[in-house]
Amino acid sequence: MDFERSIVDDVVVILLVMLMLLHLLLKMRIIWKVEESVQLEI
């Protein structure tokens, strides 16, 4: 039982990390697009 629980914990942690990475990537992409549009305006 403890073994299964530890596996579930690992999966949850991995999912959380993946979500955080995706969020960071999206933020970076948005910032990059904003900077690009600003450069185009100038």
For the chain (42 residues), the mean pLDDT of every run of 10, in chain order, is 82 97 95 83 64
**Tokens describing residue 26:** 């999206």
Structure tokens given for 7: 């596996």
Domain extent, residue 17, equals: 1-42
Q: Is pTM beyond 0.85 here?
A: no
* The pLDDT value given to residue 12: 96
Alpha carbon distance 15, 27 (integer Å): 18
What local confidence, expressed as pLDDT, does residue 15 receive? Answer: 97
pLDDT the model gives residue 32: 86
